[in-house]
Amino acid sequence: MNRAANVVSPTKVKRRKVASLDAKKARGGWFFVLPFVIGFVVLYLPMLISSVQFSFSEITVDRHVGYTLSFVGFENYSNALLSDAAFVRTLTESLKQLVFDVPAIVIFSLFMAIVLNQKMIGRAVFRAIFFIPVILTTGLIDQIDQSNAAMSYMSSGGIDTGVNSGSGDLINAMDVTSLLGDMAIGTELIEYVVTIVNDIYNIVNRSGVQMLIFLSGLQSISPSIYESCKMDGASGWETFWKITFPMISPMILVNAVYTVIDSFTSESNEVMRYITNVYNTGNVRPRELSSAMSWIYFVIVLLLIGLVALIASAFVFYQRRD
Amino acid sequence: MNNTQSKVTKLSKKEMKVDFEGKLSFWQRLKLRVLSPAFVGKLIYAIFRTVLLIGISYIILYPFLTKILASFMSNSDFVDSTVKLIPKNPTLDQWKFIILENKYFLALFNTARISVVCALFQTLMCAIVGYGFAKFKFKGRTILFLCVVITMLIPHDTLLLAMFMKFRYFDVFGILGLLGFERSALPNFINTEIPLYLLSLTGLAFKNGLYIFIFRQFYKGVPDELEEAAYIDGTGIFKTFFRIILPLSIPMMTTVFMFAFSWQWTDTFYTAAPFFTTNGIHLLPSIIEVPESLKIGNAASTLWESAIANTGGLLVILPLFIIFLFAQRSLVEGIERSGIVG
């Protein structure tokens, strides 16, 4: 393009209407996003459409013709919701788990990001350790860890049951109840805290990227704001709630949404594993049924993300930039 | 303290020492500093923080420790209930037979090739697309970015069947079908690396929506004046991008490359059935199985088999871990400088 522009003689340029820089840039923008547009239109959109199609039809695979579809209406959906015994239960349980996990992961990663952002000895080492799960505990390793008899054997008290027994738990609800009982905190909250503490390995593993996002958010807060706060005599507690929290709140929204997406697309997701299981071992039209199931799940999670975004955006404070 | 006056001593050309409390002895100064409530509070906080960080580091590292120790255990150690962490009969059998019988090095080579090529494609393409979204105003930009978000939102499992059908009977809008190709004669990309490369080249592979988003935020933080200066000097849009913007974003690209590489490395979605069946390319996920020589049939076999799976997992992440050791600094710093914040 450049070379062509150079070759054109000056007189010719004068006669023709020269495109403005904005118009040129707009065209350039299309060229930059072109790879994605091609991929989206040629590969992704057809896949999306045919996936929806599959969920409404019956596939007959033929070695010579490929496959043929016959429309069956909402049959697959009603099969998923009404006939399949475990699907609805798995779905509700996993959604409940998600609702519990999101605040835990967001709060934990914010807390750890603030700690890791402070100057101290060995900060680089701690940071490196904290980001190990992002790189290493993904995909394949995650899958191995799902049913890890050897590990639960080695961490537990020696009773080989093959599953995680209560003896390996860090804390026990009873102990905490006696500790917090006098403080008149509801039992639900105590249960919640206990579940989180026992699930800490899982939570640490899943909050790596969130921690990175919070860290980058913390670094973007100008130190002069903290300085003037200190001059005015604000305590650390006040500084956190009046400065750090509002400034980081857009990141909280991003992280809440990211956590929902991440846990919903991850390999260890209960519902996804159930759907894959149906795909591989189901009896009646397993592939179509699994398509229908994943679309049901997707719509529910989309609603959940909308809800999270709605709730979080009520608290978000955007710093006005000129 | 009344007679406090500052005393300045010059040590060298660049350094000097300012002694504000010239009258106080070293011990008095130490007392003033250490016995203040602020210092004690800080100390308690520092201890609390260190304990917490060490505790969480332990939680992260402990599974790796048990995996490493279990990988040296022999079968009899799993039957012996007195053995917890330290093996009584240490052996290298697990490592040896997985490497030899499951063709570890072949899998390593294949996965390394696929991961490097895919990660390179993904990094470059996401940088280009992200730049397009960040710096240009064109019609349909919002809708297109919504499409990126959609690709991020829809899990690939949802598209599993459609994706398989797409690559089993590859066609573009049914054009080949219209040209008279039978469905069974359409190109079959199953058991090849082509689907992976196609998806990487178009920014549709695993988590590419996230990378596009990261690059978009990064390029939004690059001042427009930089490009304007280049345009005024007569550089075209593409030349400006490849000569000025791309070198500028190398830290960010390193970070994204690390993500793309390691997530592709441990990926089990595209590298397992239905895309790669047993007669396809030998990749790392297929080394996670019990080698013939290690098969046993007694009561402890569950433990033993899962220990072997763990050793296989260690073999998978060992190269990644070595890379991580060298790259973690730039990884963390790249993300911090990225200004994901916007």
Query: The CATH number of the domain where A134 resides is what?
Result: 1.10.3720.10
Closest chain A residue to the Cα of B327, Cα to Cα: A128
pLDDT of residue A163: 39
Whether A13 is covered by a domain: the verdict is no
Whether A256 is covered by a domain: the verdict is yes
pLDDT of residue A211: 87
Full 3-state SS string of A27-77: HHHHHHHHHHHHHHHHHHHHHHHHHHHHHCEEEEEECCCEEEEEECCCHHH
The answer, yes or no, to whether residue A321 has pLDDT greater than 50, is: no
Quick one: B18 and B109 in the same domain? no
- Domain that includes residue B22, residue range: 1-35
Q: What is the CATH number of the domain that holds B226?
A: 1.10.3720.10
Tokens 């640490």 belong to which residue? A204
Better-scored residue on pLDDT, A317 or A225:
A225
Count of structural domains within chain A: 2
pLDDT of residue B1: 42
Q: Rounded to 5 degrees, what angle do the CA atoms A106, B340, B152 make?
A: 75
Domain-ending residue, one of A73, A97, A114: A73
pLDDT of residue B121: 93
Average pLDDT, chain A: 77
Q: What is the mean pLDDT of residues A3-28?
A: 61
Report whether A43 contacts B198 (CB < 8 A).
Answer: yes
pLDDT of residue A109: 92
Whether A117 is covered by a domain: the verdict is yes
Quick one: A39 and A86 in the same domain? no
pLDDT of residue A159: 35
Q: Assign A256 a pLDDT band (cuts: 50, 70, 90).
A: confident
Quick one: A222 and A279 in the same domain? yes
Whether B14 is covered by a domain: the verdict is yes
Whether B75 is covered by a domain: the verdict is no
Quick one: A94 and A194 in the same domain? yes
Quick one: A41 and A187 in the same domain? no
- Domain that includes residue A53, residue range: 19-73
Whether B233 is covered by a domain: the verdict is yes
Q: B313 and A22: CB-CB below 8 Å?
A: no
Quick one: B138 and B232 in the same domain? yes
Domain-ending residue, one of B244, B269, B287: B287
Whether B166 is covered by a domain: the verdict is yes
Q: What is the pLDDT along chain B (342 residues), one digit of tens a residue?
A: 444 455 566 666 666 666 665 666 777 777 777 777 778 888 898 899 999 999 888 888 888 888 888 888 887 777 777 777 777 888 888 888 888 888 888 888 888 998 999 999 999 999 999 999 988 888 888 899 888 888 888 877 778 778 887 887 777 776 776 776 666 667 778 778 888 888 888 888 888 888 898 888 888 878 888 888 888 888 888 888 888 888 888 878 888 888 888 888 888 777 776 677 766 777 877 777 777 777 776 655 777 777 888 888 888 888 888 888 887 777 766 666 655 544
Quick one: B160 and B12 in the same domain? no
Quick one: A270 and A189 in the same domain? yes
Quick one: B27 and B108 in the same domain? no
Q: Which one of B47, B49, B53 makes the best mutation probe of the A interface by having the most chain A beta carbons within 10 Å?
A: B53
Q: Rounded to 5 degrees, what angle do the CA atoms A279, A281, A286 make?
A: 45
Nearest to B85 by CA among A141, A147, A150, A160: A150
pLDDT of residue A160: 36
Whether B333 is covered by a domain: the verdict is no
Whether B116 is covered by a domain: the verdict is yes
Quick one: B163 and B274 in the same domain? yes
Whether A108 is covered by a domain: the verdict is yes
Q: List pLDDT tens digits, range B236-270.
A: 888 888 888 888 888 788 888 888 888 888 887 77
Q: B144 and A302: CB-CB below 8 Å?
A: no
pLDDT of residue A167: 43
Q: A43 and B199: CB-CB below 8 Å?
A: yes
The whole-angstrom separation of Cα A129 and Cα A126 is: 5
Report whether B313 contacts A140 (CB < 8 A).
Answer: yes
pLDDT of residue A263: 82
Measure A186 CA to nearest chain B CA, in Å: 26
Whether B255 is covered by a domain: the verdict is yes
Whether A4 is covered by a domain: the verdict is no
Closest chain B residue to the Cα of A1, Cα to Cα: B236
Quick one: A138 and A58 in the same domain? no
pLDDT of residue A194: 76
The answer, yes or no, to whether residue A130 has pLDDT greater than 80, is: yes
Q: B137 and A22: CB-CB below 8 Å?
A: yes
Domain-ending residue, one of A55, A73, A91: A73
Quick one: B119 and B213 in the same domain? yes
Quick one: B17 and B145 in the same domain? no
ipTM: 0.75
Residues of B in contact with A147 (CB under 8 A): 306
Whether A129 is covered by a domain: the verdict is yes
pLDDT of residue A185: 66
Quick one: B107 and B229 in the same domain? yes
Quick one: A53 and A171 in the same domain? no
Quick one: A213 and A259 in the same domain? yes
Of the listed ranges A80-84, A143-147, A150-154, B139-143, the least confidently predicted one is A150-154
Q: What does the longest C-alpha to C-alpha distance in chain A come to? A: 90
Of A29, A128, A136, Cβ closest to residue B138: A29
Percent of chain A with pLDDT over 70: 77
- Residue A70, strand partner residues: A58
Full 3-state SS string of B3-36: CCCCEEEECCCCCEEEECCCCCCHHHHHHHHHCC
The whole-angstrom separation of Cα A309 and Cα A252 is: 10
Count of structural domains within chain B: 2
Quick one: A54 and A128 in the same domain? no
pLDDT of residue B15: 64
CA atoms within 13 A of residue B164's CA, in its CB half-sphere? 19
For the stretch B285-289, contacts whose Cβ atoms lie closer than 8 Å and that sit 24 or more positions apart, written own/partner, are B285/A140, B285/B316, B286/B102, B286/B107, B287/B98, B287/B102, B287/B103, B287/B104, B287/B107, B287/B312, B287/B315, B287/B316, B288/A140, B288/A144, B288/B312, B288/B313, B288/B316, B289/B102
Whether A294 is covered by a domain: the verdict is yes
Q: Which one of B137, B198, B237 makes the best mutation probe of the A interface by having the most chain A beta carbons within 10 Å?
A: B237
Which residue type occupies A320?
A: R
Quick one: A170 and A105 in the same domain? yes
Report whether B201 contacts A39 (CB < 8 A).
Answer: yes
Domain-ending residue, one of A6, A39, A73: A73
Whether A3 is covered by a domain: the verdict is no
Closest chain A residue to the Cα of B334, Cα to Cα: A216
Quick one: A43 and A111 in the same domain? no
Whether B60 is covered by a domain: the verdict is no
Quick one: B20 and B125 in the same domain? no
Domain-ending residue, one of B287, B305, B333: B287
pLDDT of residue B190: 79
Give the torsion sign (CA, B246, B252, B255, B260): negative
Residues of A in contact with B329 (CB under 8 A): 124, 128
Report whether B101 contacts B292 (CB < 8 A).
Answer: yes
Q: What is the mean pLDDT of residues A162-167?
A: 40
pLDDT of residue B342: 42
Quick one: B167 and B279 in the same domain? yes
pLDDT of residue B128: 93
pLDDT of residue A148: 66
Tokens 């190398």 belong to which residue? B250
Quick one: A215 and A184 in the same domain? yes
The answer, yes or no, to whether residue A96 has pLDDT greater than 60, is: yes
Structure tokens at B72: 């040296």
Q: A1 and B238: CB-CB below 8 Å?
A: yes
CB proximity list for B112: less than 8 A, separation 6 or greater: B319
Of A35, A151, A220, Cβ closest to residue B129: A35
pLDDT of residue B13: 64
CB proximity list for B17: less than 8 A, separation 6 or greater: B8, B9, B10, B11
